[in-house]
């Protein structure tokens, strides 16, 4: 971590207050989960992946598809309508 402090010569203070926080979880759980233990995110409903950055596929397909859990990917699309076909390539990248 690099911390760079800069002060204008015309603005002098006797000291400063600094606060920061960091997360041991990947991506800080992308604001869709909480870091439960070092490196492990507990994701909110509808979100998943190691950093809670993946939205469930059923949200994209509406009533035209379902999500199924598979071992290689958090979700897989099972579609009964062509509205999901354009997402199949995106799911393959997960």
79-93: pLDDT as tens digits:
544 444 444 444 444
In a domain, 42, yes or no: yes
Would you say residue 54 has pLDDT above 70?
A: yes
In a domain, 5, yes or no: no
In a domain, 93, yes or no: no
In a domain, 32, yes or no: yes
Give me the pLDDT at residue 67, please: 58
Q: Say if CB 61 and CB 79 are below 8 A apart.
A: yes
Q: Distance between CA atoms of 42 and 48, rounded to whole angstroms?
A: 8
Rg (CA), the chain: 21
In a domain, 91, yes or no: no
- If residue 55 lies in a helix (H) or strand (E), which one and from where to where? strand 54-55
- The per-residue pLDDT of the chain, averaged, comes to 67
Q: Distance between CA atoms of 65 and 79, rounded to whole angstroms?
A: 4
Domain tally, the chain: 1
In a domain, 16, yes or no: no
In a domain, 15, yes or no: no
In a domain, 27, yes or no: yes
Which candidate, 58, 59, 40, places its Cα nearest to that of 49? 40
82 vs 31, more confident: 31
The domain of 61 spans: 21-80
Give me the pLDDT at residue 94, please: 42
Residue 42's pLDDT band (boundaries 50, 70, 90)? very high
């Amino acid at each position: 971590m690099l911390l760079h402090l800069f002060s204008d010569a015309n603005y002098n203070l006797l000291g400063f207050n600094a606060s920061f926080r960091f997360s041991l979880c990947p991506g800080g759980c992308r604001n869709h989960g909480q870091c439960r233990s070092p490196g492990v995110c507990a994701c909110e409903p509808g979100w998943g992946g190691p950093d809670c950055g993946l939205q469930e596929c059923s949200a994209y397909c509406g009533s035209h598809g379902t999500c199924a859990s598979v071992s290689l990917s958090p979700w897989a699309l099972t579609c009964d309508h062509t509205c999901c076909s354009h997402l199949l390539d995106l799911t393959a990248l997960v």
